[in-house]
Amino acid sequence: MATTRRTTMLCRLFACAAVLLLVFHHVPLAIGQPFPQQVCNDTSGNYTENSAYQANIRLLQSALPNKASSSPALFATGTAGTGADAAYALALCRGDTNASSCASCVSEAFVYAQQLCALKKGATMYNNPCILRYADWDFLANTTDNRGKLIAWSFDNVSSSAAPAFDAASGRLVNATADYAANNSARRFGTGELPFDQTYPKIYSLAQCTPDMTAADCRTCLGTIIRTFTPTYFTGKHGGRVLGVRCNFRFETYQFFSGRPLLQLLAPPGPPPSPSPQPSVTGQGRRRDRTALILATALPLAAAILIALAVTCFCFRSRRTEARQDSAKPYSTNPDNIQSIDSLLLDLSTLRSATENFAESSKLGEGGFGAVYKGVLPDGLEIAVKRLSLGSRQGVEELKTELVLVAKLQHKNLVRLVGVCLEEQEKILVYEYMPNRSLDTILFDSVKSKELDWGKRLKIVTGVARGLQYLHEESQLKIVHRDLKPSNVLLDSDYNPKISDFGLAKLFEKDQSQGVTSHIAGTYGYMAPEYAMQGQYSVKSDVFSLGVLILEMVTGRKNSSLDNSEESVDLLSLVWEHWSTGTIEELLDPFLMSRQAPPDQMSKLVNIGLLCVQDSPADRPTMSSVSVMLSSNTVSLQVPSRPTFCVQELEGDSHLYTDAYKRALKLQSTDKTKATIMSPNEVSLTELEPR
């Protein structure tokens, strides 16, 4: 143990030394940081607030997202202003995305650029799935200028025996995909796949240039970054990418893009060398990919050596002892590492010891599913142990499916699954421990709610929105949560929110927009009307639930509570009544008003909440749009319509299709599109009873 601690201490010292050396040399470094990544152009100088240049940037900000998303190539350039105040911009979305995601990404990139490169005249943003650049000089005239590159690669290596064959295969695929992209005159975009071996069944690649480049210039640009960076950074690695404004490429051992590959190569003749066995992971930990992001700047030799030492130490640290709070980028975790439940199994004896044999004093709470206990593993990690009751309807096989899927989700606003125990007829889930428990235990407590000032509430709402955005749009698995509510939002020691409880979640295909179920499950008061009444669910169902949560956060009132003085009117109707009469401040949480929380910002959140609870799913914003609205003060908000439905639990009748619901259903427009049946290939997570 002492040796381990000394090793960890040395690793941290090396890491600190590396960072200090880089600071003194002014070399930007970003390891394990989330997208977006930025390159702020210091050489262009600064602009001042409310200057003509800033006004021109905002003109581009209002025009470029729609211009890019409406372009068949998802590409746009723009110029605003003249002379010294002129601003030039370029936006490029990845060829496998859609128009709405493109517009949201570019809008978000502008917001990030003005935050992360504040008052800088030049900025390049690598957001997922788009690139944005603006500057005060005409870089648009030179289509071969690819400066400001970003490099990323996997820390994990292909086994030494298989590395030569793997490098040859990935190189062949990357170059073939570059050829395809260069010759694709419509988009200058290509994706590809190549079969390899049993360890890595297929290698996938992507290449793209801005569509205004010629085929020859595109291929030259791609060839340059492939030749320059592959030998140095990607040899023996099973994943990597280079992002540039004018051209970029990427390869992985899992499919990271949407749709079928545009290019499919045949496997090379003869089997590649069999990889040597990977060392197994002992204890309760499991191996996971880690990634590094580093700006393409030449590093001094001494700094490179120190970084290598720090990274080496970091790579061998246990993920159990220090949970990594990573971003929503697909590159952060290779889901192929988690193929079965075996990598998540924990011993029952370990959990008994951690919870003092599930002592009553260790119990955090109890619900219909069973009890939750606080525990401490031998390495000191605090955990929440969810012990499903013996009568739980959740089957072992269903549970295994859920856990493998949830374990593949890695985001700082999702609760991290530590492991599972299935011994002696027990079904136990182990999560990271959240010191501040669930949001409902604080928000709806007259005393504890005073812990949530305006800053904390805004942080919670923004974090939940980002977590849902990851589930809906950014993860390799497209997930609809279906049971978002305050009790399923947990808070860490700094009140950072983490979405929990995926027992009702549904996995969608990437191109799937909605599904239907005859088994309605969830929580009354947070269900979207189309789901509660017709069993239709989609990502917009989660948006509705978020809207209810936002209105609860701003008013401090519980949506399902019917003891309000306003004659037991549901919260949505109550908010609309005050909103439409211009008296919304009367409904805002008195505690926030007493602390001089900004009324305009609270009113803005009410507006966003009402947009999220619109009756028609088509009228609700996407989660990426919600994130942009929350983070930007310049985005104009639409005017919401009156929310008609609020599905509440009826006392003495837990069945949704009561006469009241049937009457409400008849009030809906008869021309709404009928739901389509879920694909037979749907992978479903466990459905629990309404609670």
Q: Which residues are annotated as a binding site for ATP?
A: 386
Q: Phi, psi (5° rounding) for residue 242? A: -130, 125
**What does the CA dihedral 656, 657, 660, 666 come to, rounded to 10 degrees?**
120
CA 253 – CA 237 distance, rounded (Å): 10
Let me know the angle formed at the C-alpha of 456 by 450 and 458, rounded to the nearest 5 degrees.
120
Provide CB contacts within 8 A for 256, sequence distance 6+: 204, 206, 250, 330, 331, 476
Q: Side by side, which strands form the sheet with 202-209?
A: 263-264, 189-195, 202-209, 247-252, 240-243, 150-154, 291-295
Q: How many CA atoms lie within 13 A of 142 on its CB side?
A: 7
Amino acid (one-letter) located at 177: T
Is 409 within 8 Å of 471 (Cβ atoms)? Answer: yes
What b/e string do you get for 308-347 counting C-beta neighbours within 10 Å, with b at 16 or more? Answer: ebbbebbeebbbbeeeeebbbbbbbbbbbbbeebebbebe
* CB atoms inside a 10 Å sphere around CB 513: 12
**What does the CA dihedral 31, 34, 36, 42 come to, rounded to 10 degrees?**
-30
Instruction: Specify whether 483 is catalytic.
Output: yes
Amino acid (one-letter) located at 234: F
- The bridge status of strand 263-264 relative to strand 150-154 is unpaired
CA 290 – CA 324 distance, rounded (Å): 10
Is 556 within 8 Å of 443 (Cβ atoms)? Answer: yes
Amino acid (one-letter) located at 208: Q
Amino acid (one-letter) located at 282: T
Let me know the angle formed at the C-alpha of 50 by 46 and 55, rounded to the nearest 5 degrees.
85
CA 577 – CA 109 distance, rounded (Å): 36
Provide CB contacts within 8 A for 165, sequence distance 6+: 196, 197, 268, 272, 273
Three-state secondary-structure class, residue 435: coil
Is 126 within 8 Å of 243 (Cβ atoms)? Answer: yes
Query: Left, alpha or beta for 535 (phi > 0: left; psi -120 to 50: alpha)?
Result: left
Provide CB contacts within 8 A for 231, sequence distance 6+: none
CA 172 – CA 675 distance, rounded (Å): 44
Q: How many CA atoms lie within 13 A of 281 on its CB side?
A: 17
Tokens standing for residue 658 = 């009561």
CA 550 – CA 532 distance, rounded (Å): 20
Residues making up the annotated binding site are 386
Q: Phi, psi (5° rounding) for residue 44? A: -85, -10
C-alpha radius of gyration, the chain, whole number: 26
Three-state secondary-structure class, residue 325: coil
Of 483, 542, 570, 615, which is the active-site residue? 483
Provide CB contacts within 8 A for 20, sequence distance 6+: none
Torsion over CA: 153, 154, 159, 162 (sign): negative
Query: Any idea which residues carry the catalytic annotation?
Result: 483
